Amino acid sequence: MKIGFVGLGIMGRPMAKNLVKAGHEVTVFDFNEEAVKDLAACGAKSAASGKELAGEVEVVITMVPNSPHVRAAVLGADGIAEGAKPGLTLIDMSSIDPTESKAIAAECEKFGIDMLDAPVSGGEPKAIDGTLSVMVGGKKETFDKYYDMLMVMAGSVVYVGGIGSGNVAKLANQMVVAINIAAVSEALTFAKKAGTDPELVYQAIRGGLAGSTVMDAKAPMMLNRNFKPGFRIELHIKDLNNALNAAHAISSPAPLTAQMMEVMQFLKSEGHDKEDHSSIVRYYEKIAGVTVEK
């Protein structure tokens, strides 16, 4: 399959590499020349713009930071829409505001472009090993057509509903993840403050009802003081901002999400916004006066 890939960041680069490894003919574009060269070394072709790339492929994947970046990559100067032939499919795997997914899809339709919104969860490790969770919105027949291709990058690919539904699911995911990390952080800080080894508390509770994928991924990072980003605080702030905007637009209360936004804003003010979101534990350590570590 001839695939275009726009956006070779922390997530996009390994995702594109997995498509190349699976034997697809992948053409890439990014402003980061080093990332483009890395993909070219793996067997991908490079394009000078989204416009050039779109004219050579049947489907384009975008993986960029936020709504304005998607809009620019697709509808801006030298963007995908300018080079698209009618019948092109756009799969936006960025995490953006679902209302903007709908608006961009409506603009794409004028160019004969069919769009899926297909944000991912799992962070850099799962992007590398091809086991991301993908949540997809759009036409069911388009989803079915590209399911196998998406599975090259994923452990699960789930159809959620019409366009925008993928990003609704992703924002729900990000709400749960943030609140879950905070719960783990609060509990391990409590254990440390009480004089009990937080590593042993983690081992004691991880097999029970409190156990979770988030706990198993993030508690060891906290205990080892490893805040190397798999998913940065600044990106989670972006997702929670989108979640709150979307929730407010439909009068859906989200008080815990709002609280997590304030926690993350504190971490940003302390200079931790480039760290992994497991550094949420730093907020609890700061107010409790202890350090959660082995």
Angle in degrees, CA 251, 253, 257, rounded to 5: 130
Phi/psi of residue 43, nearest 5 degrees: 120, 0
Q: What is the pLDDT of residues 92-116, one digit of tens each?
A: 999 999 999 999 999 999 999 999 9
CA distance 292 to 227: 13
Task: Identify the pLDDT of residue 123.
Answer: 83
Task: Identify the pLDDT of residue 231.
Answer: 87
Q: Which two tokens stand for residue 104?
A: 């961009």
Q: Which two tokens stand for residue 159?
A: 């159809």
DSSP secondary-structure letter at 84? Answer: P
* Catalytic residue chosen out of the listed positions 126, 170, 192, 218: 170
Q: Tell which phi-psi region holds residue 112, choosing left (phi > 0), alpha (psi between -120 and 50) or beta.
A: left
- Give the residue from 222, 223, 202 showing the smallest Cα distance to 276: 222
Task: Identify the pLDDT of residue 266.
Answer: 98
Q: What is the pLDDT along the chain (294 residues), one digit of tens a residue?
A: 999 999 999 899 999 999 999 999 999 999 999 999 999 999 999 999 999 999 999 999 999 999 999 999 999 999 999 999 999 999 999 999 999 999 999 999 999 999 999 999 888 889 999 999 999 999 999 999 999 999 999 999 999 999 999 999 999 999 999 999 999 999 999 999 999 999 999 999 999 999 999 999 999 999 999 999 888 999 999 999 999 999 999 999 999 999 999 999 999 999 999 999 999 999 999 999 999 998
Assess whether 102 carries a catalytic annotation.
Answer: no
Task: Identify the pLDDT of residue 125.
Answer: 87
**125 Cβ contact partners less than 8 Å away, ≥ 6 residues apart:** 230
Domains and CATH numbers, the chain: 2-162 (3.40.50.720), 168-288 (1.10.1040.10)
CA distance 25 to 16: 10
Task: Identify the pLDDT of residue 154.
Answer: 98
**252 Cβ contact partners less than 8 Å away, ≥ 6 residues apart:** none
CA distance 85 to 189: 56
Q: Does residue 124 contact residue 231 with C-beta atoms inside 8 Å?
A: yes
Q: Does residue 172 contact residue 239 with C-beta atoms inside 8 Å?
A: no
DSSP secondary-structure letter at 119? Answer: -
Number of helices (H), then strands (E), belonging to the chain: the values are: 14, 9
CA distance 224 to 221: 5
Q: What is the pLDDT of residues 126-176, one digit of tens each?
A: 999 999 999 999 999 999 999 999 999 999 999 999 999 999 999 999 999
Q: Does residue 28 contact residue 45 with C-beta atoms inside 8 Å?
A: yes
Residue 30 burial (CB < 10 Å; 0-12/13-18/19+)? buried
Task: Identify the pLDDT of residue 294.
Answer: 84
